[in-house]
Amino acid sequence: MINFISSLIIPIMVLVIIIYGLIKKIDIYDEFINGAKESFDIVLTMFPCLLAMIFGINIFLKSNILLYLFNILEPLLNLINIPFPVFPMMLMRPISGSSSLAILNNLLKTYGPDSLIGRLASVIQGSTDTTLYVITLYFGSIGIKKIRYALKVGLLADLIGIIAAIITVNLFFT
């Protein structure tokens, strides 16, 4: 039943917009074309920021810095009871949502969704955000250059989300 309702939401919204436009005597087609033209300009503005972010992430991943970092931090993570397989997702989540989602998918396939690792990874995915992506794309697209405080607060919020996830999952599932 819920799948049927959710499949109708967008068509109903479009129908409501069309009916509203007809009632208000708005030329719906021209307004749609004007909106499409504006979105093209926005895409052209955002593209360089998005390209720079993708380029930077690829350099970071191809440099194998993560492997060295993992080898150094594995004993510390074991000491404070953080499952090591979740650590790559903790690092990638603020950088890239699709990368962290791919890591989560791999963890769920390997360890299962009801395992401690699967639960911890799922809670981290839900309680953090892609801070660098948001700042790069949204701030860059509107021309904000001074991101210092937003970056600090965003990364702090991600860290708090990760810590809260670790505490919560260990409290309820171990």
Q: Is residue 8 part of a domain?
A: yes
Question: Do 141 and 38 touch, CB atoms closer than 8 A?
Answer: no
**Does some domain include residue 84?**
yes
Range of the domain at 4: 1-46
Q: Quick one: 110 and 31 in the same domain?
A: no
Shared domain for 19 and 69, answered yes or no, is: no
Q: What is the DSSP letter of 86?
A: G
Q: What is the 3-state secondary structure (H, E, C) of 18-37?
A: HHHHHHCCCCHHHHHHHHHH
Q: What is the pLDDT along the chain (174 residues), one digit of tens a residue?
A: 778 888 889 999 999 999 999 999 988 888 888 888 888 887 787 788 778 777 877 787 678 787 787 788 888 888 888 888 898 889 889 988 888 898 899 999 999 999 999 999 999 999 999 998 888 878 877 878 788 899 899 999 999 999 999 999 989 987
Overall pTM surpassing 0.85 (yes/no):
no
User: Are residues 151 and 74 part of one domain?
Assistant: yes
Residue 55 lies in a domain: no
- The number of folded domains in the chain is 2
